Amino acid sequence: MNAQAIIRSIEAEYLKSDIPKIYVGDTVKVGVIIQEGGKERIQPYEGTVIAMRNGGIGETITVRRIFQGVGVERVFLVHSPRLAYIQAIRRGKARRAKLYYLRDRVGKATRLKQRFDRPL
């Protein structure tokens, strides 16, 4: 077994198998596990996926939302055990891989067209 195969086999133990297919432009709901005073609860975070980064166990998605008039972007490590779930709520139509142009837009202009050819 070569070095890469060994590293991949170690990563395989930590990879989640139940991750749904997510595309750039989708609106997703992410359940973040939050610890407060010894208690755990799940806080949902909803927004548009504006970027994805592949990389095996280091795979991330960047989710953008407008919260109280302020743009918030969070980068989630997809395989992290601190994420309870990831759901696609709406499939969006995007013509590029990174939707950074949404940062310069406000209000109605930030909407993406919905697409129906991909199942939720």
In the complex with other proteins, which residue's Cβ is closer, 80 or 110? 80
Question: Of 7-15, 41-49, 88-96, 99-107, which segment contacts other proteins by CB under 8 A?
Answer: 7-15
Whether residue 25 contacts residue 93, with contact meaning beta carbons closer than 8 Å, is answered with: yes
Dump the DSSP string for 44-86: EEEEEEEEEE--GGG-EEEEEEEETTEEEEEEEETT-TTEEEE
Considering the rule CB under 8 A, would residue 82 count as an interface residue with other proteins? yes
Question: CA torsion angle for 96, 62, 117, 44 (degrees, to 10)?
Answer: -160
Cβ of residue 77: shortest distance to other proteins, in angstroms? 6
In the complex with other proteins, which residue's Cβ is closer, 7 or 120? 7
Q: Which backbone phi and psi does 58 adopt, to 5 degrees?
A: -95, 15
Considering the rule CB under 8 A, would residue 34 count as an interface residue with other proteins? no
Number of residues that bind other proteins (CB under 8 A): 17
Which residues are near other proteins by CB under 8 A? 3-4, 6-7, 10-11, 13-14, 33, 56-58, 77, 79-82
